[in-house]
Amino acid sequence: MNYLQFFDMRAEVSLMALILIVFLYDLFTEGKERRGFPALTCVLLGIHTLLNICPGEDVELFGGMYQSYAMTNIMKTILSIGTLLVFLQAKNWLRRDDTRHKEGEFYVLTLCTLLGMNFMMSAGNFLMFFIGLELASIPMACLVAMDKYKHESAEAGAKYIMNAMFSSGLMLYGISFVYGTVGTLYFNDIPTMLEGTPMQILALVFFFAGLGFKLSLVPFHLWTADTYQGAPTAVTSYLSVVSKGAAAFTLLVILMKVFGPMVEQWQTLLYAVIIITITLGNLMALKQENLKRFMAFSSISQAGYIMLGVIGGNELGMTSLVFYVLVYIAANLAAFTVINVIEQKAGKVDMSDYNGLYQTNPKLSFLMTLALSSLAGIPPFAGFFSKFFIFASAFSAGFYLVVFIALLNTIISLFYYLKIVKAMYITPNDAPIAAFSSDCSTKLSLALCTAGIIALGLVSAIYDGLNLYAFGM
């Protein structure tokens, strides 16, 4: 074996080095030396992101076990940016007396999940894919239960790990069916032996169920609301964007590369799942008062929209999916940053608590409005263009009814997003949340997210640049 091949895994090698440095710093420092821990971690993650920002060439290593494409590297960079934004918004929470001692664990566990997602996206073999999936899932369960002194957090962790185990079991069962019918786990070899037999269709369904859990697609979504509500807000934001983006991209690549000969079967499956996911997510979001549960059902609905980029299995769909995830990271993390800072400063997470927020915190109210407008798809913000491209990709593939139903659902989503705007600007409140000043890391996170919401909608070169590296069936 040529061990020099490991150095061709740029993103994974640099990320493992980052994890090691953060772990050692956490292990050997104490007291005043730890004041710079958040800054050091963010700087190192920024360096890691910059080192891997160039898409590079397609790479296939270890006999096809590892396959990384230029678009895969772009997706890894996007997820690294999302993780960096989460670290910035988490500083307030990690500086509390009850969480200060868990600062190192948070950084290491989060980076480990990111490493697992990288392996998952670059897998060329179902075994490596499954290992990456579990590396991303197990540390995530620890993160969800990090506020274990709170009943809700402990319950959320238990529900997450139980559902993760069940979905992983289903997926492993499906992978065993694939191996049993074709005799190999390598992505390059499987398509030539797929015939669409009942056993292979069942394998496809079981595999889809496993990633459907990660994406919170209906009917695999039942864990989402309780987990989002119980987990620390920083963890919830990470779970809603970074984890979802990695799972969506991986699903797209595997469906195209591995299950390409069964395109009719998985398009039919996605057809039903997309409609149900978008509609149910929107309808349930209308009923929520807790903002974290509200964002959970919003996330479920957004997952349905993301799947519109998958169903066509073409280059336009891949470009639209990656662009959608990029915009979604900026908008969703902006909203979660506002929710997080208000929770830390005022201890409030209900929608009614935001009544009259504009009177005391006009800047936060304005930035929250920008984020929600982008999530709703209101022009000229980036969310409008991401939805337009994702709809166009599905429409070009001939899925007119799905696109029409998705368009109708945008009206519902516009209504519930504007409920928060109405609460902040219109609903009267004699005792709104008191005025406060945000810390520097929160301001930086909001500034970067806001810049992304505006710039991604105005600079067309970003979408065109992504399209250069897209591929399809």
For 107, the 3-state DSSP assignment is helix
What is the predicted pLDDT for the residue at 473? 61
What is the predicted pLDDT for the residue at 197? 85
What is the predicted pLDDT for the residue at 112? 92
Contact (Cβ atoms closer than 8 angstroms) between residue 332 and residue 375: yes
| C-beta pairs of 378-384 under 8 Å, 24+ apart in sequence | 378/414, 379/457, 380/457, 380/458, 381/331, 381/453, 381/454, 381/457, 382/327, 382/330, 382/331, 382/452, 382/453, 382/454, 382/455, 382/456, 382/457, 383/327, 383/328, 383/331, 383/453, 383/457, 384/457
The residue among 142, 55, 41 whose CA lies nearest residue 85 is 41
The residue among 449, 447, 460 whose CA lies nearest residue 380 is 460
Task: Classify residue 13 as exposed, middle or buried by CB count within 10 Å of its CB (0-12, 13-18, 19+).
Answer: middle
The residue among 397, 172, 177, 195 whose CA lies nearest residue 307 is 397
Backbone phi and psi for residue 76, each to the nearest 5 degrees, phi listed first: -60, -40
Backbone phi and psi for residue 211, each to the nearest 5 degrees, phi listed first: -75, -25
Prior bond to 219 cis, omega within 30? yes
Q: What distance in Å separates the CA atoms of residue 334 and residue 6, rounded to the nearest whole number?
A: 36
Contacts of 382 (CB under 8 A, 6+ apart): 327, 330, 331, 374, 452, 453, 454, 455, 456, 457
Q: In the numeric block, which tokens belong to residue 473?
A: 């069936």
As beta bridge partners, residue 125 has 186
* pLDDT tens, the chain, 473 aa long: 566 666 778 888 899 999 999 899 888 887 777 778 888 889 999 999 998 888 878 788 877 788 888 888 999 999 999 999 999 888 888 877 777 778 888 899 999 999 999 999 988 888 899 999 888 888 888 888 877 666 677 778 788 888 888 888 888 888 999 888 888 888 888 888 888 788 888 989 898 888 888 888 888 888 888 888 888 888 888 888 888 888 899 999 999 888 888 888 888 889 899 999 999 988 888 888 888 888 888 889 999 999 998 888 888 889 999 999 999 999 999 888 888 888 888 778 888 888 888 888 888 888 889 988 888 888 888 888 889 999 998 898 888 999 999 999 888 888 888 888 888 888 887 777 777 777 888 888 888 888 888 888 888 788 888 888 878 76
Q: What distance in Å separates the CA atoms of residue 184 and residue 64, rounded to the nearest whole number?
A: 12
**What is the Cα Rg of the chain in Å?**
21
Q: What distance in Å separates the CA atoms of residue 167 and residue 211, rounded to the nearest whole number?
A: 8
Prior bond to 261 cis, omega within 30? no
